[in-house]
Structure 1
Amino acid sequence: MTLPVALTGADVIGQAKTGTGKTLGFGLPILESVTVPADVESGRAKPEELTDAPQALVVVPTRELCQQVSNDLLTAGKVRNVRVLSIYGGRAYEPQVDALRKGVDVVVGTPGRLLDLAGQKKLNLSQIKVLVLDEADEMLDLGFLPDVEKILQLLPAKRQTMLFSATMPGQVISLARRYMSQPTHIRATAPDDAGQTVANTAQHVFRAHSMDKPEMVSRILQAEGRGLAMVFCRTKRTTADIAEQLTRRGFAAGAVHGDLGQGAREQALRAFRNGKVDVLVCTDVAARGIDVEGVTHVINYQTPEDEKTYLHRIGRTGRAGASGTAVTLVDWDDIPRWQLINKALDLSFPDPEETYSTSAHLYEALGIPEGVKGVLPRTERTRAGLAAEEVEDLGEPGRRKAKPAEERPQRVRPPRQRRRTRGGAALDGSPQPPQPEAAATGEEPARKPRRRRRTRSGAAATRQQPEA
C-alpha cells in the first residue's frame, strides 16, 4: 500500500501493526530515490548529480533499531551498491566521521549523535532528499521530539518526508502537520483482524507472586516447541538479576539494558541472533522494531507501563505471518495497571487467574511437559552461551580501556636513605645542611631553653605565697 505513493515522492504517514514490514515500506523508496554510480552508467542520471553527502536520512529512537534498519537497507541496496551508514551513541566518533568523509548515500541514526555531528560540521544535511521518522511515538515518549525538530530545521525545505509508527498520538500528528506537505495517511489492517494485537499471537495472562516468578519463567521456557524467547522487565536491575538467575539454572541467557556498555549490548543481541543464546532478558529498549527470526515466546516478567508498550513487546513474536505465544505475569500490585491495558486493547483478561509454578492449568495452557522442574537438565544444555560471542571493542566514549600489566609503565622508587643523628649532628661525621639562620649569619643559632609549666586538671597551677 505504501510503495506506489512513496515512489512518486509524496509525503506519507504509514501506520500498521508491528511485524508487518514497515522497514521495507520506507526502505525501498529511499533506495530508489538516491543517485548512485549505477544510475550514471545506465543513463538514468547525469554525472554532476552524484554527491558524497547523504541524500536520505532515517531517524530512529534506539541504538538497536538503528543497527537493524541499517542492516536491512544494506541487504536491500546491495544490487545498486548503496552506501548506508549507521550513526548512534556509545561508539567512537572517529570511524563514523571517516565514513562520512569518504562518502555515504543513506544515514540511519539516533537524534543525539546526529545533532552532535551536524553541530561539529562533520555531517552535511544540505543534500537530503528524503527524510524518514521511524517509531515517532517512541521518540515522543523518550523526549527526543525537540531534538527531532532541530534536525528538521537543518534540512532543505524541499524534500520528501515519511513518518512511520504502529501508534499515532496527538503530538506526533501535530508534528506531521507542521513539517509535512499534504501527507497521505496509509493505515494497513487486515479485514479479518479487527483488534490491535496480531491475531496469530496466542496471549496468556496469569496472576503470579513475585517470589515465584523466576521458577515460573524457568518452567515456561521448557514448553514444547519453544524456540528463541524474550523476557521483558521494567527495570534495569531486575533485567540483570533475572538473566543471572536463568544462567544459574542452566539456560543460555543474555541481557540488554541501559546500564550495559554498547559493546555488551551488541554482544548479547548478536549471540541471540546467532543462536548461541536462546533467552534474551531485556528492558523496553529492545521492544521496538527488533526483528529476530525464530522468536516463539515473549514473556512479560513485569507488567508493561501502558498498552503501547504491551503491543510492542508482544510484537517481537508472531512476525511476518509466523505464530507466537505471549505470556504476561501480573503481580498483585499491578492488577489496576493491567486492567487499564486490558480495557484499552479490548482483551478478555480483566481478572487474571491466580497461578503458581506448580499449577496444573499453567502446564496445560502452555504445553509444558509433566515433571518439569525449574532447572534445565544437563542433557538439554546445548547452546554455546553468551561467553562464546566476542565483545567488540567499539571505542566507547568515556570508557578507558585498561592496558595489560606487561604494557603498563613500571614506577621505580629510589631507596630511602636514613641517617643516624645525635643532638643534631650525624654520627658518621658527614656535614649537615646549614640552617637558614646559620646560612645568613655564619654562626650556629643558640638553642632556646624549653619552658615548662605546671598544670593541675588541665589548668595552669599558681603557687601560693606563704602568709607573713
Structure 2
Amino acid sequence: MDAFPIQELALPIALGGHDIIGQARTGTGKTLAFGIALLQRSEHGGKKPQALVVAPTRELASQVTEDLVVAGGKLGSRVLAVYGGRAYEPQVQALRDGVDVVVGTPGRLLDLVKQKHLDLSEVGTLVLDEADRMLDLGFLPDIERIIERIPAKRQTMLFSATMPGPIVSLSRRYLTRPTNVRAESRDESEATPQVVQHVWQAHQMDKPELLARVLQAQGRGLTMVFCQTKRACDRVAGDLVQRGFDAAAVHGDLGQSQRERALRAFRNGKIDVLVATDVAARGLDVDDVTHVVNYETPDSAETYVHRIGRTGRAGKEGTAITLIDWGDLSRWKLINGTLGLDFAVPEETYSTSEHLYEVLGIPAGTTGTLPKAKRGERTGLESEALEDIGETGRTRSPARRERTPAEAAPAAEERPARPKRKRNRSRTRGGKTVAAGTAAASESPSAPEPAAAPAPVAEAAPAASGGDTVVTERKRGRSRRRTRAGQPTERDPWNS
C-alpha cells in the first residue's frame, strides 16, 4: 500500500523531532502523518503521558484515537481519549493506571489538569489537529493554557486542511523553526479534485422533494446531508424517515451516546443517510461515502471544503451537491471566488427539472417517496444499541459524585433512627398557660369570670291562622370577651 503525499513529506521530518506545519486536503492521511512519528518517539510503560493530541470536536478525538490504537497495536501503546459527554471516572482511572498518549478536546483536558488528574509535565510531543477549526470555535485561550503546562522543550506539530492567518501567528509563538509541508501546489484548488461537484439554485419549499430524488440517484451509497442549524437537522431527518429512508441526525443538542449511536449505525451500514451540522464535518472518516449534499449553503470556503471532503476519501470518487437558496447567492459567490470554482451563477433547479434526472442518473418517474419495494434493505437506527457511557449533563468532579443506592444503603443502616418528638402545644386562658384538654372547671380562680350570656330576645310573630300572636325566641350570637395579658378589652360592638 502506497503512502499519501502528506505522509511521504511529513514523516521523515516528524521522526527527526522537528516542528511541522502540515497542510493537505481532508481525507489524505494527515492522522497517520503525525501519528506514526508520535508513537515511535514516545516511551511506553510509564505513568504520565508522553504525547498529547488536541482536537476541536469529540468526533474527531474519537476518530484519531481509533487510528492511533490500530497503528500502535504492535508497539503496545496505551492511547486514551478524553472528551466531554462521558463520565469522569473511567478516564480518571485510566490516567491513574498510566497512559502513553492522550487525545482530547480542550475543555475536558483543562478540567482534568485543574483537578490534578492529568499531568502534562512529561509530554514531549504536542499535536494540534484541525487547528483552524479550534480557532473558529474559540478554543485559542484554552490551547494557550494547555501549552503553558507542557515543557518548553518539545516537538509541536500543526495539521489542518486550511491555514488562515491566525494559524501563522500561533505557529510563530509556539513552534521552533517549523517546516511547512504542503501536499499540493499552491495554484491548485483546495476543493477535492476527485469529487464531482454540482451547484444548483433551489427554492426552499422545493428542497425536501429535490433531496428525496437525489437520494434515489444511480449508484448512491452512504450519504451525508449537511445543514446549518440543529433544528434544520431534526426537521430534514424526520422528513426523510417519513418518506421511507433510513436516516438519522447528528448535532450538538444530542447526548454523546446518541451521537455515537448514529455514527456507528452509519459506519455499519444500518442507516445510509446521516443528517449533520458542521460538528461532523471535521475528522469524520467513514468509508464508502458516495454522496455529500449541502442542503444549506455553508458559511465559508473552509466549511465547504471540509463538508465535501467527507466523500472522495483515500483516492475514491464521490459526488457533492450544493443547493443554493436565493438569499444565499451573495455568500456563495464569495465561496466560489475563493476556491476558484466555475459555479458563480448556479443553474436554477427544481425537483422536476430534466437535467437533475440526467446528471445524477435518477430513474424516470421517481417521486419524493421511496418505493416500498426498496424499503427494509437496512436494519435502521433502532437496531444499533444505545450504549450507557455515563454521560453527564454538567461537569462534576469525581470526588463529589453522588453515591449509588448500594453505597448509600449501609450508611443509612448505621445511622440510628431518630425518635419522633411529640408536639406539645399549650393553651392560654386569661393570660395564663393551662394544659391542653383541661376542663373549664379547673381554671385558675384568679382568672376573671366570663360575662353572663345575654337573655334571649322575644319576638312577636303572627300566627299561621291569624288572630292570636305566638311568641318565639331568637337566639343571639355567641359573644366572647377578648383579653390582652389577662385584662378584658372593650366588647366588639359588632358581636354585641
Match 1:436 to one of 422, 428, 435: 428
Deviation at 1:289, TM superposition (A): 1.4
Indicate conservation of the 8 Å contact 2:14/2:34, yes or no.
yes
Task: Please give the secondary structure, in 1, of the residue aligned with 2:290.
Answer: strand
Q: Measure, in 2, the Cα distance between the counterparts of 1:242 and 1:436.
A: 74
Query: CA-to-partner distance for each residue in 1:138-174, whole Å, 9 max, x for gaps?
Result: 0000000110010000001111100001111111111
> Within the alignment, does 1:237 sit opposite 2:231 as a pair?
yes
Q: Measure, in 1, the Cα distance between the counterparts of 2:265 and 2:76.
A: 28
Match 1:290 to one of 272, 284, 288: 284
Task: Please give the secondary structure, in 2, of the residue aligned with 1:440.
Answer: strand
Call closer, same or farther: CA 1:451–1:387 in 2, change over 3 Å: farther
Look up the match of 1:21: 29
Look up the match of 2:437: none
Look up the match of 1:452: 494
Q: Measure, in 2, the Cα distance between the counterparts of 1:224 and 1:450.
A: 97
Query: CA-to-partner distance for each residue in 1:323-359, whole Å, 9 max, x for gaps?
Result: 0000000111111111111111111111111111111
Look up the match of 1:201: 195
Q: Measure, in 2, the Cα distance between the counterparts of 1:62 and 1:109.
A: 8
Call closer, same or farther: CA 1:354–1:122 in 2, change over 3 Å: same
Amino acid paired to 1:452: W
Q: Measure, in 2, the Cα distance between the counterparts of 1:63 and 1:443.
A: 80
Match 2:40 to one of 32, 36, 43: 32
Superposition map of 1:304-453 within 5 A: 304-381=298-375, 382-398=377-393, 435-437=427-429, 440=433, 443=443, 447-448=480-481, 451-452=493-494
Aligned residues: 412
Superposition map of 1:154-233 within 5 A: 154-189=149-184, 194-233=188-227
Look up the match of 1:254: 248
Q: Measure, in 2, the Cα distance between the counterparts of 1:67 and 1:160.
A: 23
RMSD across aligned C-alpha pairs, in angstroms?
A: 2.2
Deviation at 1:437, TM superposition (A): 3.2
Query: CA-to-partner distance for each residue in 1:111-134, whole Å, 9 max, x for gaps?
Result: 000000001100010110110000
Task: Please give the secondary structure, in 2, of the residue aligned with 1:222.
Answer: coil
Call closer, same or farther: CA 1:435–1:115 in 2, change over 3 Å: same
> Within the alignment, does 1:108 sit opposite 2:103 as a pair?
yes
Look up the match of 1:133: 128
> Within the alignment, does 1:275 sit opposite 2:317 as a pair?
no
Deviation at 1:380, TM superposition (A): 1.2
Identity %: 61
Q: Measure, in 2, the Cα distance between the counterparts of 1:331 and 1:361.
A: 18
Deviation at 1:434, TM superposition (A): 6.2
Q: Measure, in 2, the Cα distance between the counterparts of 1:230 and 1:71.
A: 21
TM-score (ref. length: structure 1): 0.85
Answer with 442-451 or 172-181: which moved more: 442-451
Runs of 4+, deviation exceeding 4 Å: none
Deviation at 1:276, TM superposition (A): 0.5
Q: Measure, in 2, the Cα distance between the counterparts of 1:204 and 1:254.
A: 24
Q: Measure, in 2, the Cα distance between the counterparts of 1:236 and 1:330.
A: 19
Indicate conservation of the 8 Å contact 2:426/2:433, yes or no.
no
Look up the match of 1:46: none
Query: CA-to-partner distance for each residue in 1:186-226, whole Å, 9 max, x for gaps?
Result: 010169x8211111100001111111111111110010100
Query: CA-to-partner distance for each residue in 1:32-77, whole Å, 9 max, x for gaps?
Result: 01122xxxxxxxxxxxxx5211000000000000000000000111
Task: Please give the secondary structure, in 1, of the residue aligned with 2:224.
Answer: strand
Look up the match of 1:58: 53
Q: Measure, in 2, the Cα distance between the counterparts of 1:116 and 1:284.
A: 25
Deviation at 1:227, TM superposition (A): 0.5
Task: Please give the secondary structure, in 1, of the residue aligned with 2:64.
Answer: helix
Indicate conservation of the 8 Å contact 2:50/2:123, yes or no.
yes
Indicate conservation of the 8 Å contact 2:270/2:383, yes or no.
yes
Deviation at 1:366, TM superposition (A): 1.3
Amino acid paired to 2:356: L
Q: Measure, in 1, the Cα distance between the counterparts of 2:311 and 2:342.
A: 20
Look up the match of 1:413: none
Query: CA-to-partner distance for each residue in 1:289-335, whole Å, 9 max, x for gaps?
Result: 11100100000000000100000000000011000000000111111
Query: CA-to-partner distance for each residue in 1:384-423, whole Å, 9 max, x for gaps?
Result: 111111111121222799x9xxxxxxxxxxxxxxxxxxxx
Q: Measure, in 2, the Cα distance between the counterparts of 1:71 and 1:97.
A: 19
Amino acid paired to 2:102: V
Indicate conservation of the 8 Å contact 2:243/2:370, yes or no.
yes
Look up the match of 2:485: none
Deviation at 1:450, TM superposition (A): 6.0
> Within the alignment, does 1:4 sit opposite 2:40 as a pair?
no
Call closer, same or farther: CA 1:61–1:451 in 2, change over 3 Å: farther
Any unmatched runs of 5+ in structure 2? 1-8, 395-400, 405-423, 435-441, 451-479, 482-490
Task: Please give the secondary structure, in 1, of the residue aligned with 2:81.
Answer: strand
Indicate conservation of the 8 Å contact 2:22/2:159, yes or no.
yes
Task: Please give the secondary structure, in 1, of the residue aligned with 2:232.
Answer: helix
